[in-house]
Amino acid sequence: MKHFLLRTRQVLFSPIQKIQLNLQPKMIKGEHALLDLVDVLREKHISRYMVVTTAGFIKRGTLQPFFERLEESHIPYSIFHDVKPDPEILDVENLKEYYIKEGCQGLIAIGGGSVIDCSKAALACIQTSHLTVKTVLETGRVSKTLPFFIAVPTTAGTGSEVTAGAVITDPIRKRKYALSHLFLIPKYAVLDASLLTTLPAKMTAYTGMDALTHAIEAYINHFNNRKTNEYALEAIESIFQYLIPSFEDGSNIQYRLKLLEASYKAGVAITNNYIGYVHA
């Protein structure tokens, strides 16, 4: 019965997929795309940004040039770096509370899928502040457009910078909650290859296979279309061409950027299509 209901939903919503292709984030890409983002932020006149990232990035000083550029441009920001590898309800609650406390109006998520997913969930909960985080996750209620939201992936795999979903873990009930709504798609996706040059080889392989799986699932899906197939095939081709070289030489900017683009395209394909049983 569950299988039947899911397939019925896919048939009913398949006409909307053509509209979704126009809902991609605006893309900024390059070796130092994160620094180029500051030019965009200057134009937005947002009072304060919340930068969500990992403790590792802060400790290594990877983002220091970005923070310095923000300060030179007189753009106020706060930093939240307490997100677990598989974000939990408490992570979302803490981020939501800190965002409100700091008076932020926009959010920049710099990290892998966990950081971006936690940010999506927190922003969704901020827009439905009369409900608890747990209620939002249990009901999947995303009823308002999110505050200005930018995603900066530091792995090439999950495609979270372009997808309309987020997954949050409840460690007490030992279950995962999946939020899914077009409002969760970030306004900008920043593909900065320099942020991936220190990514370990194993993580490069794992995330690359994740992106490849997305692309293949989108391509063989019964609800694919010409455009999603184009994105999926381009992603597959790039991953086959650049994943092994990137695994062997992680410092190569060109390889890293090609994988980021492939992950992005695979994310577009599954967002405007459906994933398969591998991701069920």
C-alpha distance from residue 39 to each of 152, 188, 254, 275 (Å): 15, 13, 23, 35
Backbone angles phi, psi at 142, to 5 degrees: -125, 100
Q: Global pTM?
A: 0.91
Query: What's the pLDDT score for residue 203?
Result: 96
Q: Final residue of a domain: which of 175, 195, 215?
A: 195
Note the pLDDT of residue 264.
97
Which residues are CB-contacts of 92 (< 8 A; sequence separation ≥ 6)? 118, 121, 122, 125, 133, 137, 168
DSSP letters for 208-263: HHHHHHHHHHHHH-TT--HHHHHHHHHHHHHHHHHHHHHHH-TT-HHHHHHHHHHH
- Residue 280: inside a domain, yes or no? no
Structural contact between residues 194 and 253, judged by C-beta atoms closer than 8 angstroms: yes
Q: Model confidence at 243, in pLDDT bands (50, 70, 90)? A: very high
Query: With bands split at pLDDT 50, 70 and 90, how would you rate the model's confidence at 192?
Result: very high
Cβ atoms of 50 and 80 within 8 Å: the answer is: yes
CB of 218 closer than 8 Å to CB of 21:
no
Q: Is residue 218 part of a domain?
A: yes
Residue 1 lies in a domain: no
Q: Which residue's entry shows tokens 């994943």?
A: 243
Residues 81 and 209 both lie in one domain: no
State how far the Cα of 232 lies from the Cα of 269, in Å rounded to an integer. 6
Cβ contacts of residue 270 below 8 Å, gap of 6+?
Answer: 159, 163, 214, 217, 218
pLDDT band at 143 (very low <50, low <70, confident <90, very high): confident
Average pLDDT, the chain: 91
CB 220 within 8 A of CB 168: no
211 or 280, which is more confident? 211
- Cα separation, 118 vs 133, in Å, equals 11
CATH code for the domain in which residue 227 is found: 1.20.1090.10
- Give the span between the Cα atoms of 233 and 61, in whole angstroms: 37
Report the alpha-carbon distance of residue 83 to residue 118 in Å, rounded. Answer: 7
Same domain, 144 and 211: no
If asked whether residues 236 and 138 sit together in one domain, one would say no
114 and 217 together in one domain: no
Q: Please indicate, yes or no, whether residues 141 and 216 belong to a single structural domain of this protein.
A: no
- Asked if the model's pLDDT at residue 12 lies above 50, the reply is no
Percent of the chain's residues with pLDDT above 90: 80
Q: Answer whether residue 46 is part of any domain.
A: yes
pLDDT at residue 177 is higher than 60: yes
DSSP annotation of 85: S
Strands of the 188-192 sheet, one edge to the other: 26-30, 188-192, 148-153, 106-111, 49-52, 77-80
- On whether residue 151 sits in a domain, the answer given is yes
Give the burial class of 110: count Cβ atoms within 10 A of its Cβ; 0-12 exposed, 13-18 middle, 19 or more buried. Answer: buried
Residue after which a domain boundary falls, among 195, 229, 244:
195
Q: Is 46 exposed, middle or buried (0-12, 13-18, 19+ CB in 10 A)?
A: middle
Please give the pLDDT value at position 20: 56
Query: Domain boundary residue among 142, 173, 195?
Result: 195
Domain around 118: 19-195
Query: From CA 83, how far away is CA 79, in angstroms rounded?
Result: 12
Is residue 276 very low, low, confident or very high in pLDDT (cuts 50, 70, 90)?
low
